[in-house]
Amino acid sequence: MIRDASVADAESVCAIYNPYILETVITFEEEPVSAEAMGKRIADVTVVYPWLLFVEGEQVLGYAYARKFHERAAYRHTVETAVYVAQGGHGKGAGTALYRELLARLKPLNVHTALGGIALPNEKSVALHEKLGFKKVAHYEEVGRKFGRWIDVGYWQVKL
């Protein structure tokens, strides 16, 4: 089941996100996010855009959201998207279902373009984005540094 997230879900979102911070280069954050800080992020995003949860029973298995791409007015029809699935929750279709619902909800919000940034290499994320119609439009070399190594970032784009 997919439902809207609220500030009350911050702890569940942190339980999914913080292992990515501590164990992977998928996110460039380096310190775990507190439930309070995550609650503020959810509250800030949901003023304008959706933040969705994939829930199985009572367990949150994943989440997806969109946020402003840049602050300047001319970018107002473009968003950056993110999707995270709990470790051990992959292969159940959560990422695909979340992304499809997110993109569907963005269309009526006058969003023209959605962008997904991917730390490379990440074959699973690339495959998910391309499955949903995203096309690679940029590749930045060595723009992030985490765990003592340089990381490339690619951007995938879909026009809604």
Continuous H helices in the chain = 10-23, 35-45, 94-106, 123-131
Kindly report the pTM of this predicted structure. 0.95
Spans of the chain, pLDDT less than 70:
none
Q: Is 50 exposed, middle or buried (0-12, 13-18, 19+ CB in 10 A)?
A: buried
Please report the pLDDT score of residue 98 as a whole number. 97
Q: At the fourth CATH level, which superfamily is domain 2-159? A: Gcn5-related N-acetyltransferase (GNAT) (3.40.630.30)
Please report the pLDDT score of residue 40 as a whole number. 98
User: How do the domains of the chain map onto residue ranges?
Assistant: 2-159
Q: By the 8 A CB rule, do 79 and 68 touch? A: yes
Please report the pLDDT score of residue 90 as a whole number. 81
